[in-house]
Structure 1
């Protein structure tokens, strides 16, 4: 319950801004989203291993010459990818990474997994580094594509005369392809085997091709930066992360209980807001207003972390008062409830995330 309160009171902050719809505001909720996959509860510390070192170094040198990449560029890219993953783990609520300095060769290609490591090797790595599992980077490939095009633009001189000019546009796109395996030592199973692509692009404009190309970020720096971000991208697959989601709040002008409650919510006083919306239920007989008040009470309950109450209020908003926006919000609450069940499973030392 302590963790549950931590989510709902300390880290569930609200940013409110005017919506384009009259009588409503849009709010942003910062929510913890469960990972895509759930690791065994015994896994809390993971060794991060670079196993994507090509076994045939001579072939790798030839490829570096053909592609125009430096001989050490792939090595730097792999290092930055694991460093990005390690940093993401430092922000993780439930997992800790231990970045290893050694590299192991693999018998796979840049995009094909090698044969799995033996469990004797995994056990040795875990014992030496005091970890419960090993994440191995086992495939790695980088690709850089630079394109340039010329286009006509119109500029205005000091006399206000429009002058057509040719402008050159250069684009550099970096694509990183990575493949990870997670070795679960306790259960002696591969908990995840996943490949993905991650890309970034940079642009530059100039009056000639040479200037446009020189305006692009250094290729090696671009690859390293993309690799670093790609590492953090994988962490989201196996560890809960914070995201922003939008919700709708009904507002009202004047000094009625509905209006006062809305203003209380805007300044973050959801407890008082709920009190006024409860009053609106007893002082008004207007079906539309009652549907909106119960909708807001559902939102207030979600902010407080009580999804059972939220689902009850939104059910009344639609079932009793036919609020047309209630069914969509009810689907959101059902999804959130299922996500919190998974989140509870992923937070090994947490019980009763949902009340």
Structure 2
């Protein structure tokens, strides 16, 4: 297993401040939606959407009837493979390989083919020195274009001659849909870890002074299908692997006639969170409830940045329970959720 997690430090990025508060972004890792056997360290991604000789002619017939390019679904399958590979390589959990061969499956309908036989799975694992397979087994895409004409307002002229007029505008709209079926196999235990049919839809628009111009400006079918396939690969990676995420928090930077809150905030802004904690904690006994609640809340955020979630939870609870800071109540719940997720993540990274 790649133990990138051990070398991944929580980092904080500051965004533009707003009205006495400043946002901070925390980079961390979220657990996968499903747990995978810790013995599985290397995943082999396989395109299993090559039509059999029997289905090949059915695919050609479908392409003629629907207007879909014969190679469109092949390109979509490759886009899913590439997207999944690229996303999983960001994860600290798995090593990722891609099989060079394309296996026969069922690319004609949105029904899963029979599971890949175990001997074929084992041969692939032996050849690539992998532990598990993720197979793209269904690709079914559609792209429908509609067009029309509408009235729009445009400003013409300059200076005293500037005016608003109503003109005709042609528009084109493309609605793309893709269904991708993925299976994850564990050949060592002869089991299917996961099987999911993912459905992704998106709409694209373009406009021009002519019908031909609007259609020409619209995304083409193959590009739309690749974009949808990339979305599916991205989403599935987050299901099976712990992935980097960014969490957005805020902390208080301003207080009327109470300098310690602002002093601590300045320390936080230069990433000296431990010194900021010291300043805020020392000032709390002499503060009014409002300022004490805000500094307690800030300390909770500081401890999250420093990856001490238990202390963060304690200070968030104190901010609400003792000083009535309502924002801290929601924040305490977020921290409690993170504590649970961290425990899940640790189990997934063993």
Deviates more, 1:95-104 or 1:60-69: 95-104
Measure the CA separation in 2 of the matches of 1:110 and 1:30.
Answer: 41
Measure the CA separation in 1 of the matches of 2:7 and 2:50.
Answer: 42
RMSD: 2.0
Measure the CA separation in 2 of the matches of 1:40 and 1:33.
Answer: 17
Could you tell me which residue of structure 2 aligns to residue 219 of structure 1?
Answer: 221
Measure the CA separation in 2 of the matches of 1:30 and 1:341.
Answer: 17
Measure the CA separation in 2 of the matches of 1:30 and 1:340.
Answer: 14
Runs of 4+ in 1 over 4 A off after TM superposition: 2-5
Q: Aligned to 2:15, what secondary structure does the other structure show?
A: strand
Q: Which runs of 5+ in 1 are unaligned?
A: 349-355
Written as runs of structure 1 = structure 2, the 5 A alignment for 1:136-175 is: 136-158=135-157, 159-175=161-177
Q: Is the contact between residue 107 and residue 140 of structure 2 (CA under 8 Å) also seen in structure 1?
A: no
Residues 285 and 220 of structure 1: CA distance in aligned 2, closer, same or farther (over 3 Å): closer
Q: Are 2:187 and 1:188 equivalent residues in the alignment?
A: no
Q: Is the contact between residue 179 and residue 195 of structure 1 (CA under 8 Å) also seen in structure 2?
A: yes
Q: Is the contact between residue 15 and residue 29 of structure 1 (CA under 8 Å) also seen in structure 2?
A: no
Q: Is the contact between residue 147 and residue 170 of structure 1 (CA under 8 Å) also seen in structure 2?
A: yes
Measure the CA separation in 2 of the matches of 1:4 and 1:13.
Answer: 17
Deviates more, 1:161-170 or 1:250-259: 250-259
Q: Which runs of 5+ in 2 are unaligned?
A: none
Of residues 250, 263, 266 in structure 2, which corresponds to 1:263? 266
Of residues 287, 295, 298 in structure 2, which corresponds to 1:296? 298
Deviates more, 1:145-154 or 1:247-256: 247-256
Q: Aligned to 2:133, what secondary structure does the other structure show?
A: strand
Q: Aligned to 2:16, what secondary structure does the other structure show?
A: strand
Query: CA offset at residue 213 of structure 1?
Result: 0.4
Measure the CA separation in 2 of the matches of 1:84 and 1:102.
Answer: 17
Written as runs of structure 1 = structure 2, the 5 A alignment for 1:117-128 is: 117-128=116-127
TM-score normalised to the size of structure 1? 0.90
How many residues matched? 342
Q: Is the contact between residue 27 and residue 247 of structure 2 (CA under 8 Å) also seen in structure 1?
A: yes
Q: Is the contact between residue 31 and residue 242 of structure 2 (CA under 8 Å) also seen in structure 1?
A: yes
TM-score normalised to the size of structure 2? 0.91
Measure the CA separation in 2 of the matches of 1:4 and 1:96.
Answer: 13
Written as runs of structure 1 = structure 2, the 5 A alignment for 1:193-204 is: 193-204=195-206
Residues 107 and 157 of structure 1: CA distance in aligned 2, closer, same or farther (over 3 Å): closer
Q: Aligned to 1:186, what secondary structure does the other structure show?
A: helix
Deviates more, 1:298-307 or 1:181-190: 181-190
Query: CA offset at residue 232 of structure 1?
Result: 2.5
Output one character per residue of 1:42-97: Cα deviation in whole Å (capped at 9) or x when no partner.
Answer: 11111111112233100000001112122222222212221221222222211122
Q: Is the contact between residue 14 and residue 268 of structure 1 (CA under 8 Å) also seen in structure 2?
A: no
Query: CA offset at residue 5 of structure 1?
Result: 6.6
Q: Is the contact between residue 108 and residue 115 of structure 1 (CA under 8 Å) also seen in structure 2?
A: no
Of residues 18, 22, 27 in structure 1, which corresponds to 2:24? 27
Residues 256 and 6 of structure 1: CA distance in aligned 2, closer, same or farther (over 3 Å): farther
Measure the CA separation in 1 of the matches of 2:342 and 2:21.
Answer: 27
Query: CA offset at residue 135 of structure 1?
Result: 0.7
Q: Aligned to 1:17, what secondary structure does the other structure show?
A: coil
Deviates more, 1:134-143 or 1:154-163: 154-163
Residues 94 and 104 of structure 1: CA distance in aligned 2, closer, same or farther (over 3 Å): same
Query: CA offset at residue 255 of structure 1?
Result: 6.7
Q: Are 2:87 and 1:88 equivalent residues in the alignment?
A: yes
Q: Aligned to 1:274, what secondary structure does the other structure show?
A: helix
Could you tell me which residue of structure 2 aligns to residue 14 of structure 1?
Answer: 13
